Structure 1
Amino acid sequence: MTQNTPDTTRNTRPSDRRNAGSERPADTRPANARPGAGLGLDALAQRMAHGHVPARELGALGEEYTCRMLETHGWRIVDRNWHCRYGELDVIAIDPAGTLVFVEVKTRRGHGHGTPQEAITFRKRLTMRRSSCLWLTEKKPGMRTLRYDVVAIEIPTQGPDRMLRFTHLEGAL
């Protein structure tokens, strides 16, 4: 006896058909994967320069790029995207001199909303300081010196040279 069952692969994308029996479709990544985590610095820069990256993903890519740049210069990343009641700390790292550094990363496409540095308002500075106090209380890193830095990543939206500009401002806050 033959049963008529619907063809579940007929109205699906080719990638879905190819992985019809697997638990996870090919185009998804683990929940803990960061955007750009598997890319090199050049590939990350190209991905950010692409005009169709949503703002939230652009910010995450900027943070990933920043961590990679800092690591190539001898920094050790201690924590990322740490949340508390006051807000979020983007990157917490130890520089080569042994200073604990709270890094605020601002990634901007064009200057329609001002430069990345201009986005660091008094309110944001206050939020960072309050958040860092809670982080220090919770983590107790035992560092004698600390600093607040800003990394500004600017991506030109026009012109033949769409290379990103990475600016690290030490002690900016």
Structure 2
Amino acid sequence: MSDPVPSAGRPVNRRAHVGRLGEDIAADFVGSLGWIVLERNWRNRYGELDLVAVDPHTTDGGTLVVVEVKTRASRTFDDPVMAVTPDKLARMRRLARTWLAGQERRWRQIRFDVISVQLDGFTPDDPARARVRHHRGVYD
């Protein structure tokens, strides 16, 4: 994968480019499920939530889903989800509490999912060739 060159002429960080591709693919994936994405890349000084979405297909009329997106352009792990550590899941939970504190709506159900995106090694910029896996309810 070649690094894209923005208008300023500096190459984009490869890791950031891979991450952005994966997050775009994950956002499209949850959209195809009928979910509503409320936030992308929500940040505070303690970290970032990749996606915050609503799964409207639940019995309570909508579950808030905090999604960690893990993307790989190489075969470092069998599934990029293997890079999600217990510390990362705990950080997601703390960040979600902070995000929720700033919202007016209250949620009966909150779920933590991981979407792993394995980009194709030959054509990593082609989202149609990416392998997407959805891991539901990874953190209680």
**TM-score exceeds 0.5:** yes
Q: Map 1:60-139; keep pairs closer than 5 Å.
A: 60-96=20-56, 97=58, 98-112=62-76, 115-139=79-103
- CA deviation after TM superposition for structure 1 residue 56, in Å: 0.5
What is the aligned-residue identity percentage?
Answer: 36
The answer to which of 78-87 and 143-152 deviates more is: 78-87
Q: Tell me the SS of whatever aligns to 2:138.
A: coil
Q: Structure 1 unaligned segments of length 5 or more: list them.
A: 1-26, 30-52
Q: Tell me the SS of whatever aligns to 2:88.
A: helix
- Distance across 1 between alignment mates of 2:77 and 2:135: 20
Q: Map 1:1-173; keep pairs closer than 5 Å.
A: 28=7, 54-96=14-56, 97=58, 98-112=62-76, 115-157=79-121, 163-173=129-139
Q: Which runs of 4+ in 1 moved over 6 A?
A: none
- Distance across 2 between alignment mates of 1:115 and 1:166: 10
- CA deviation after TM superposition for structure 1 residue 115, in Å: 3.1
Q: Higher relative contact order at CA 8 Å, sep ≥6: structure 1 or structure 2? A: 2
How many residues are aligned here? 121
Q: Tell me the SS of whatever aligns to 1:172.
A: strand
- Distance across 2 between alignment mates of 1:81 and 1:112: 24
- The one-letter amino acid of 1:104's match is E
Question: What TM-score results when the alignment is normalised by the length of structure 1?
Answer: 0.64
- CA deviation after TM superposition for structure 1 residue 110, in Å: 2.1
CA RMSD of aligned residues (A): 2.1
- CA deviation after TM superposition for structure 1 residue 65, in Å: 1.3
Residues 63-85 of structure 1 deviation map (CA, whole Å, 9 limit, x = unaligned): 11111111122100011111123
Residues 103-143 of structure 1 deviation map (CA, whole Å, 9 limit, x = unaligned): 00000012225631111012111110110010011123211
- Distance across 2 between alignment mates of 1:112 and 1:104: 18
- Distance across 2 between alignment mates of 1:110 and 1:155: 8
Q: Structure 2 unaligned segments of length 5 or more: list them.
A: 1-5, 123-127
